[in-house]
Chains A and B, each alone.
Chain A
Amino acid sequence: MSSPADIAPSRPSAWNDPRVRGLVIQAVTLIAVIAAGAYLVHNTAENLARQKIASGFGFLGSTAGFDISMHLIPYTVQSTYAVAFVVGLLNTLLVAVIGVVLATAIGFVMGIARLSPNWIVSRLAAVYIETVRNVPLLLQLFFWYFAVLAAMPAPRQSLELGAGFFLNIRGLQVPSPILEPGFWLIPLTLLTGIAATVVLAKWAKRRREATGQIFPTAWAGLGLIVGAPIVMTLLAGVPIAFELPVLQGFNFQGGAVLLPEFVALLVGLSVYTGSFIAEIVRAGIQAVSHGQTEAAYALGLTRGRTLRLVVVPQALRVIIPPLTSQYLNLTKNSSLAVAIAYPDLVSVFAGTVLNQTGQAVEVILITMAVYLAISLTISLAMNVYNRHVRLVER
């Protein structure tokens, strides 16, 4: 009979070949998408030109002419719109980074508190979570800003907290450091301390896994990161002078000020996002099989150690993906800052600059690109961490 080698597999014609069809359809779709995009861009440019609306990115070099209440880099009314953009961007990043740290801390504490066997603690945590989750963020920001403002005294009746710290409705006035020569030793000590703590933590973990002995890494780290720079400061002869805030006329002059807008936004965002993170943490912890907890207790581990060494590392796999979403939410929600006068990117750039120049298309495009870049960076970092804690299947 005919052998298998005589019957060659029939080659489909080019049109019926699924691979060729797939390639053709993808190429056509790509061309269509590019064409649609090009048409939109061309149409927009034509409409802008026809209506004599200024376009292009040249406006970034024009003088800003307005004042920004909080700027981390030097900024005056004569700086350009580009500098104003950077100021807004840095303000957004500052709130986002500190907000993420605070929200995570609040979320983890509240999530674990919600699962506490202590009835009052778990009820209080539940009340906090349910209330904060269900009230719109804008209202919470208004609450924190106006309720906190209402409680503050006027500058002339400031609350004196000692050592040059004053609390009033204009903010928390703090002494600002003036760095003298020889200061460089202290950040160097700090960085060395952080590096040493990381190395120490790794060594302690290896020793614990090998011998079961626990090393007080937290206290040692505290000594290295906080204690060592303090000792170095004293050894170097305290190379820092402080400029104290002094009440002159309407406000305090000198020193630095922590704006109530910044604090209200930070607290509002952290509390709000923290409540969502608390529920995610609770879900993650409950996802860990109860057998793990029971086995840990059977081995004699305390509740704290069980949580830290057994449950949370396993729960992290469930927690990290939704946690990433919450971080992105926090970053984007910081754009509500304009409602309470915090000069973030949207308020400064997509608000004031947009209105002064009228170039809505370019400004909004830049703002969206920036938020996209920030969000993608956060996602990337979290995905790297996710891969690190992921369950490694055999």
Chain B
Amino acid sequence: MRRFELVMAAAAAITVAGAADAMAGPTLDAVKAKGFVQCGVNTGLAGFGSPDSAGNWSGFDIDYCRAVAAAIFGDGTKVKFTPLTAKERFTALQSGEVDLLARNTTWTMSRDTQLGLDFAGVNYYDGQGFMVKSSLGVKSALELSGATVCVQTGTTTELNLADYFRANNMQLNAVVFEKSDETVAAYDQGRCDAFTTDASGLYAERSKLANPADHIVLPEIISKEPLGPAVRQGDDEWHNIVSWTHYALINAEELGVTQANVEEMKASENPDIRRLLGVEGDFGPMMGLGNDWAVNAIKAVGNYGEVFERNLGANTPLQIARGMNALWNKGGIQYAPPVR
């Protein structure tokens, strides 16, 4: 029944907010009243959001939820996670069941315009790829005409797959499952020749297979998949909070602020660092938060590079290179507007 109360509270809050000043943030008020952020995450994608055997959540998107919670409450543990499948994620956000959807969701025009939600930045630039068994002897995705491909339902993956095969005049046999676990299991057993999802997902799933070395990820990236957190439309303040938390983490990496040195950095003479960490200016209160919003976020999860390395980096089973997700001045395209 908590969910019902939450929906009723959100509906009542939206009704009230509709009549009141647009600056008032119903989501922030509701979150502050509850005392935690309700975050929609993946049911289990290694590196992005998955629970361990004790039920503790960890992952790239999980850290983003914690950063937002820390920015609001000063404590990154004030967050509860709702695991969502690809099918139910948007309905959960639209209905108010979750405040924030951090579930490796691709930012597309139809999702931005037709679903009543807004994306708060791109926290991972990804693209769709294919994984095949090395024994097939396939070296390129263009050789896959007539192949059977396992794919998860309700994702841009399904559409991109059909588009790619159509554009290259290849014949497709798609086998569509609801959960990624079954998709990968069927691929592993040999029901399909290839498995397709975002490249980050391919590495994540390969690390879980019985013999990761038997599978190769084909070089072609067939789509643009800018993954980012999403919030409901109509609450600009909440959207600001989530986007600027993301931008703060990127600016922190750019300026050399880490989880370890954030307290000392407050004494820095660099005006960018002083503005970011709230020593100068009133940027936090402009969003309805305290001045130490960025300090708390960085203290909870580190800067963007640290979040990446902890969940997807060289010391994890995924070993994903920074690639496009490096900073704009380091060969990638992660670029944040300045805090000023």
Which A residues form the contact surface with B (CB < 8 A)? 47-48, 50-54, 65-69, 77, 142, 146, 149-150, 154, 169-170, 248-251, 253, 260-261, 338-341, 343, 347, 351-352, 354-360
> Which of A50, A52, A340, A352 interacts with B158 by CB under 8 Å?
A352
Given A52-B233, A53-B94, verify A347-B172 contact (CB < 8 Å).
no
Given A50-B18, A51-B232, A53-B94, verify A66-B174 contact (CB < 8 Å).
yes
Given A77-B166, A250-B193, A356-B154, verify A343-B111 contact (CB < 8 Å).
no
Given A352-B154, A360-B91, verify A170-B233 contact (CB < 8 Å).
no
> Which of A149, A248, A355 interacts with B90 by CB under 8 Å?
A355
Given A50-B14, A77-B162, verify A351-B154 contact (CB < 8 Å).
yes
B186 CB within 8 Å of chain A: yes
Which B residues form the contact surface with A (CB < 8 A)? 11, 14, 18, 86-87, 90-91, 94, 110-111, 113-116, 136, 144-148, 150, 153-155, 158-159, 161-163, 165-166, 172-179, 182, 185-186, 189-191, 193, 232-234
- CA of A225 to CA of B163 in the docked complex: distance in angstroms? 47
Least CB separation from A355: chain B residue = B154
> Which of B144, B161, B189, B190 interacts with A67 by CB under 8 Å?
B161
> Which of B114, B182, B189 interacts with A169 by CB under 8 Å?
B189
- CA of A150 to CA of B188 in the docked complex: distance in angstroms? 10
> Which of B18, B148, B150, B155 interacts with A250 by CB under 8 Å?
B148
Least CB separation from B86: chain A residue = A355
B interface SS class: mixed
29 contacts between A and B (CB under 8 A): A50-B18, A50-B234, A51-B232, A52-B113, A53-B115, A65-B159, A65-B163, A66-B161, A67-B172, A67-B173, A68-B174, A77-B172, A142-B182, A146-B185, A149-B186, A249-B146, A250-B148, A339-B178, A341-B182, A347-B153, A347-B176, A352-B176, A355-B86, A355-B90, A357-B110, A357-B114, A358-B94, A358-B116, A360-B91
B153:A338 contact, CB within 8 angstroms: yes
> Which of A47, A53, A67, A169 interacts with B174 by CB under 8 Å?
A67
B145:A340 contact, CB within 8 angstroms: no
Question: Besides the contacts A67-B174, A355-B155, what 13 more A-B pairs have beta carbons closer than 8 Å?
Answer: A50-B14, A51-B116, A52-B234, A66-B159, A69-B173, A146-B186, A169-B189, A250-B136, A352-B158, A355-B154, A356-B110, A358-B111, A358-B115
Chain B hits for A253, CB < 8 A: 146
Chain A hits for B177, CB < 8 A: 338-341
- CA of A253 to CA of B171 in the docked complex: distance in angstroms? 11
In the complex, what's the smallest C-beta–C-beta distance from A357 to chain B, in angstroms? 7
B234:A51 contact, CB within 8 angstroms: yes
B146:A149 contact, CB within 8 angstroms: no
Least CB separation from B157: chain A residue = A66
Chain B hits for A149, CB < 8 A: 186, 189-191
B159:A250 contact, CB within 8 angstroms: no
B94:A51 contact, CB within 8 angstroms: yes
Given A69-B176, A77-B162, verify A53-B116 contact (CB < 8 Å).
yes
- CA of A357 to CA of B18 in the docked complex: distance in angstroms? 26
> Which of A53, A67, A260, A341 interacts with B114 by CB under 8 Å?
A53
In the complex, what's the smallest C-beta–C-beta distance from A25 to chain B, in angstroms? 30
In the complex, what's the smallest C-beta–C-beta distance from B60 to chain A, in angstroms? 22
B182:A339 contact, CB within 8 angstroms: yes
> Which of A53, A260, A354 interacts with B154 by CB under 8 Å?
A354
Chain A hits for B233, CB < 8 A: 51-52
- CA of A69 to CA of B192 in the docked complex: distance in angstroms? 12
